Amino acid sequence: MSDVKREDVLPALLVADDQRSRDEPEIAANISTQLEHMGLHTWSISVIRRLRDAIGRLSPTSVLEIGASIGHRSAWLFDLFTNQQPKKFDLVEQGAKFGVILFRLQSRYEAAPWSNILVGEFSTLLAEAKAWSMTMKSGVGTGEKRLDLSYDAIIVDDQPEKVASTISESLPLLSQNGVLFTVEPPTPTGDYDELDESEQAKVDGFNDWIKLIETTNSTHYMAFVPLFEGTLVAFFKR
């Protein structure tokens, strides 16, 4: 990717890689079955496969996955990293029970030396990391695992009503040549009861997404890749 003009990076990065297998990794397939039993949803295989291809091409040294859930997408990435291991892979998940499942996945790939499971709200973990950075500058600190303040690849998977705000917080963490990946939130359709707080939150969240695209257009290149059951979106600094 170093030979590609900056404005051409995302189009080159997001094409399918015919050299990689289209089959779902075995561990990811098992987690997919578990997702169905638990009534959970994740990105479609088409979207995850294209994400895997893009990250494989990017060859990041540091990766952050926000919203790891029980590790379906993470398993695809761990499988990719078997052959091109980053120095650091941080997985953020709000639910403590899901964190236990992620620890098991981490063990399956023997990835503990270079990956971290961080359980909690991303905004809280980020605030702690920023405070920690200031503490370290003063020469005081311990060896607790925390978020870094720079990543070559960031994956954001959050609720439609929150995804725009999470991306806004994440974009400053991109390294100079880093790429942020997410999926376009669904467009609200039909009438809804204005007293329905859940539906109103989705509408407000989509409006926030539109504002994010408008305001970020001057600072980042963006690419939208329509795929089966989802549109992969990428952000790259201008």
**Among 177, 172, 181, residue whose Cα is nearest residue 233:** 181
Whether the model pTM is above 0.85: yes
Q: Give the chain's domain count.
A: 1
User: What is the C-alpha to C-alpha distance for residues 230 and 184, in angstroms, rounded to an integer?
Assistant: 7
Q: Kindly report the number of other CB atoms within 10 A of residue 79's CB atom.
A: 17
Query: In terms of residue numbers, what domain contains 63?
Result: 6-237
Which residues, including other chains, have CB under 8 Å from residue 217's CB and lie 6 or more apart? none
Look at residue 40 in the predicted model and tell me its pLDDT. Answer: 86
Whether residue 197 lies inside any domain: the answer is yes
Whether residue 127 lies inside any domain: the answer is yes
Whether residue 130 lies inside any domain: the answer is yes
User: Higher-confidence residue: 61 or 131?
Assistant: 61
User: What is the C-alpha to C-alpha distance for residues 133 and 111, in angstroms, rounded to an integer?
Assistant: 25
Look at residue 39 in the predicted model and tell me its pLDDT. Answer: 86
Whether residue 200 lies inside any domain: the answer is yes
Which residues, including other chains, have CB under 8 Å from residue 45's CB and lie 6 or more apart? 24, 228
The residues pairing with 66 across neighbouring beta strands, listed in sequence order, are 92, 156
Whether residue 1 lies inside any domain: the answer is no
Q: What is the mean pLDDT of residues 18-31?
A: 94
Give me the chain's average pLDDT, please: 91
The 10s digit of each residue's pLDDT in 174-198 is 999 999 999 999 888 766 666 777 7
Whether residue 118 lies inside any domain: the answer is yes
Domain of residue 216, CATH code: 3.40.50.150
Q: Over pLDDT 70: what percentage of the chain?
A: 92
Look at residue 212 in the predicted model and tell me its pLDDT. Answer: 97
Whether residue 77 lies inside any domain: the answer is yes
Judged against a pLDDT cut of 70, whether residue 64 lies above it is answered with: yes
